[in-house]
Amino acid sequence: MAAPGRATDHSLDRRMRILVAEPLADEGIDVLQARHDVDVRTGLSPDELRTAIADYDALLVRSQVRVDAPLIEAGSRLVVIGRAGVGVDNVDLEAATRAGVTVVNAPTGNTIAAAEHTLALLLGLARRVAAADASVRRGEWQRAPFEGVEVRGKTLGLIGLGKIGLALADRARGLEMTVVGHDPYVTAEQASLHGVELVDLDALLARSDVVSVHVPLTDATKDLIGRATIAKMKPGAFVLNVARGGIVDEAALADALLSGQVGGAAIDVFETEPPKDSPLLSAPNTILTPHLGASTAEAQVAVAVEVASGVLDVLDGRPARSAVNAPIVSAEAAGAIAPFLPLAETLGRFFAQFARTAMTTLTFEVAGTPADNDPAPLTAAMLRGLLQATTEERVNLVNAGLLAKARGITVVERRKHEAGAYAALVTVSGDVGGQRVTVGGTVNAGEERIVRLNDYRLDMEPSAVMLITRHNDRPGMIGRVGRILGDADVNISAMHVARSGPRQDALMILALDEDVPEAALESIRTQEALADLWLIQLGGDGVRADDH
C-alpha cells in the first residue's frame, strides 16, 4: 500500500535512477549499472540531498548519511533505500514504511570480517601484541613483561549465537578452544552443529576464559557486561566486544581492569564514537580499535554486492530477503489484520519469556475474523516479538521464516474460522520439557487482551511489567505477595487469579507500574506455597524472564 502521491508505476523493463550518496565498492556499482542508471554523488549536504532525491527511485547509503522523515518525504519517486551494512540506525524505518518505501540492508556481507577481527583481538590480547609493539618503538627490548598465554585449551564464551557468533565458534574450534554459548532463542541441537555447548548466562560467565558479545543493542542488552556480570566472571578473564557500543558498561569494565578482575579487554565499538572521554582509554591491558569489524576489502565488496542485489530485487518487484521494514500489503488485507499485528507481537514477546527456553516447533493459530486472510504478516509479527532481542535483523514478512529456520525453529500456522466465545483468537504454543506452553490473546474494542495461559482462562490487558506466580491456593498467599511488592514501592495496577479448584493449583497474574527489584523477587521465591515465578517485561525492547 503506497503512500498517497508516491509513484507506483515502475515497469520491470524501464531503467530507473539510483542515487549512491556514500562511497560504495565498484563491484556493487557494477551490479546496479547493469540494470539501471546510477549517479554516485557523495558529500552532499542534507539540503542538497533533499533537493536531489526527488529525481531518484532508489537511494544507497552507508552509515553517515541520515535518511530521516523529511528526506523520505522529499523522495516522491523513492521505492527502496539500501543501507550498505547491518545496522539501520541512520534510517527512519517508521517513516519509510509509512511512505511505502522498502529498506534493505546487507546482513551477511561482514560476517567473516567481524568474526576474524574478534579473533585477531583475542590473539592480540593473549600475546600482548600491542603493548610489546609500543615497547619496541620506545627503544626497549624486554620480554618478561609481555609473557602471554595460549588460547589452546581455553574456554570461549559467546553471548549471542547469530551469524557472527557462530562463525567465530567455528574458527575458535580450529584453535582447539572449548566453546560455550548463551542464546535463549537457539536450541542445543542448533548450537551443537557448530560445536557449541549451550549454557545459561551465569554458567558461561563462570566457565569462560574469554567472554565475547555478539548481540544487538536493545534495552535488554544495554550494559549487559556490567558490574554484576563482571563479578560473576572467572578472575582474569578477557572481554571482547565487536558488536555494538553500549553493551559493555565502559566504566565498570575499566574498574575491573584496574582491579585485575578482568585480565584484558579488546573493544572495537563504543557508546560514544569517537570515545573521547571513555575510561577505557586509560585502562590497562586493553586493545582499542575504531569500529573496524567490517573494515576489510572483501567485506566492503560483499556488502556492496549484497545491498545492490537487494535494491534490484525490490525495483524488479521481487521480495528482498534483506528487507528490514514491514512489507507492503493490500489495503483490504491491511485493514483486516492491522488490529491484530500488535497483539501477535505482544504474544511472541510474552511467550519467549513464559516458556523460558528455545524450542524447535511452535504452533501459531489464528481463529475467527482474521483467519480469512493470509496469516504470514501475523506470524512475522509474532516472530518479531519472539526474536527481536537477539538479532540485528528486523523480523518481517520477508525474513521471518528464514530467521526462525536459522535458529532451528519451525512455525506451524493454523487457521480456524471458529474462535469459540471470541470474535478472534490468536495463540502461540509449543512443547517445553514434555509440557505444552500456550499463550493466547484477542482484541476487544481496540484493546489487546491476554485470555489464555496454558490451561488457565483469564481476561487481562497486557502491561509493560507483569508478575506471574503459580502457587498452591492457600489463605494469605496473595496478600503476602502484595505486601512484598508494596514494601518495595511497586504498585499493582491490575490482578487476575485463576485456579484449578479450591486450595489447588492457582495462577496469579499482576500488572505492575514499576519493575520489581531483585530483593523483592527473592522474598517472593521464599514463600512456601510458591511453585513457579515469572517476571514478564513487555515494554520497549526489554526482555527479562525470572528463572525460579
Compute the distance between CA of residue 404 and CA of residue 396 in angstroms, rounded to an integer.
Answer: 11
Does 448 participate in catalysis according to the annotation?
Answer: no
Does 548 participate in catalysis according to the annotation?
Answer: no
Burial 150-184 (b: 16+ CB within 10 A, else e): ebeebbbbbbbbbbbbbbbbebbeeeebbbbbbbb
Q: In what order do the strands lie in the sheet with 410-416?
A: 410-416, 361-368, 424-432, 435-444, 447-453, 456-460
Determine the angle formed by the axes of helices 129-137 and 111-126, rounding to 10 degrees.
60
Q: Choose, from 83, 194, 244, 471, the residue flagged as catalytic.
A: 244
Q: In what order do the strands lie in the sheet with 465-472?
A: 492-499, 505-512, 465-472, 530-537
Query: CA torsion angle for 514, 519, 521, 526 (degrees, to 10)?
Result: -150
Q: Are strands 37-40 and 17-20 parallel, antiparallel or unpaired?
A: parallel
Compute the distance between CA of residue 529 and CA of residue 374 in angstroms, rounded to an integer.
Answer: 45
Q: Choose, from 291, 321, 496, 548, the residue flagged as catalytic.
A: 291
DSSP 8-state secondary structure symbol assigned to residue 230: H
Closest CA to 185 of 353, 343, 323, 364: 353
Does 291 participate in catalysis according to the annotation?
Answer: yes
Report whether 183 contacts 191 (CB < 8 A). yes
Q: Which residue has the cell 526482555?
A: 543
Helix (H, G, I), strand (E, B) or coil at 381: helix
- Signed CA dihedral, 477, 481, 482, 487: sign only: positive
Other residues' Cβ atoms within 10 Å of the Cβ of residue 50: 17
Q: Choose, from 94, 273, 298, 447, the residue flagged as catalytic.
A: 273
Compute the distance between CA of residue 172 and CA of residue 154 in angstroms, rounded to an integer.
Answer: 10
| Active site residue ranges | 244, 273, 291
